[in-house]
Amino acid sequence: MVFKDLKNALSDAIMDLKPAPIPDEPIELEEVTLDRSESDNSKWLSYITAALGGAKTFEIHCWTEETEWIDLALQYGSLKEDDWQYGKIITGAVTPEFVQMLLGLPKPADTETYNKMTPFFNVFLDDKFQSCHYGTELYL
């Protein structure tokens, strides 16, 4: 019963999270592109490892048909209410378990369309890191 109460309280707290206020100064993000010349995902791992330090929240986007990855992300967060009709958005707290899962994923083998670095279409950490198009475009 205590675990269920804690889980419900954490879920409620996560759902009540609000985005940070828009800063007065525009945020400059550096773009890094990981292209077909990357034989592994070690560069992606180094960038996201650095970004995970101090990160509080994550948001993961998956296409609707990516049920395996949606189910995995839902083990660490909860479904966000949104109007994206083609996919699901999962949000949650960056925990040691989440970090271990994210950094422990192997480089995807299905690289026909994208030379994927991660199985997740998009991964956002707070407002300081964006991994887009399966980690092929990073914004730091």
Walk along the chain (140 residues) and give the pLDDT tens digit of each residue.
666 776 777 677 667 766 666 656 666 667 888 888 889 999 999 999 999 999 999 999 999 999 999 999 999 999 999 999 999 999 999 999 999 999 999 999 998 888 999 999 999 999 889 999 999 999 98
| Beta carbons within 8 Å of 130's beta carbon, 6+ residues apart | 29, 122, 123, 124, 137, 138, 139
Residue 24 lies in a domain: no
pTM recorded for the entire structure:
0.78
Residue 34 lies in a domain: yes
Residue 109 lies in a domain: yes
- If residue 129 lies in a helix (H) or strand (E), which one and from where to where? strand 129-132
By three-state DSSP, how is residue 79 classified? strand
pLDDT at 102: 97
Residue 131 lies in a domain: yes
Residue 2 lies in a domain: no
Residue 4 lies in a domain: no
What's the domain count of the chain?
1
Rounded CA-CA distance 33/56 in Å is 25
Residue 21 lies in a domain: no
Q: What is the 3-state secondary structure (H, E, C) of 30-78?
A: CEEECCCCCCCCHHHHHHHHHHHCCCCEEEEEEECCCHHHHHHHHCCCE
> Tokens 């773009």 — which residue?
31
Q: In the structure encoding, which two tokens stand for residue 98, read together?
A: 């989440």
Residue 12 lies in a domain: no
Domain of 80, in residue numbers: 30-139
Q: What residues pair up with 78 in beta bridges, in sequence order?
A: 91
HSE value, Cβ hemisphere, 13 Å, CA-based, for 49: 10
